[in-house]
Amino acid sequence: MSKQFQRDFGVYCCPHIFHKEKPVLVVVRDEDCDWQFLCGNDTDDECHYVGVGHLLDRDTSLEALVNLEKNTGAERDDIEQVWKYFDLA
């Protein structure tokens, strides 16, 4: 069986994602191993801490990112595109 997110695993998401205004286009696993699910728009607003299951219910393609390593991320231009991986500088 392949690795999956625990549905109650806590992650950060921007307000646009939290309020279902925009799709997840950027996912980052930072140096502290915290996960961030973002819409890609710069915002100074505080992120929300949620169970990743809420995000997976809306977009099952996020499950493919479960193996992101520390200090890496993935992005896409829209939800129809494949994820492109990158290292955090």
Query: If residue 49 lies in a helix (H) or strand (E), which one and from where to where?
Result: strand 48-51
In this structure, of 12-16, 28-32, 36-40, 42-46, the range with the lowest mean pLDDT score is: 42-46
Residue 1 predicted with pLDDT over 60: no
pLDDT tens digit string along 51-65? 999 999 999 999 999
Boundaries of every domain in the chain: 10-79
For range 23-48, the mean pLDDT: 91
Q: Name the pTM for this structure.
A: 0.92
Secondary-structure breakdown of the chain: helix, strand, coil percentages, each rounded to the nearest 5? 20, 25, 55
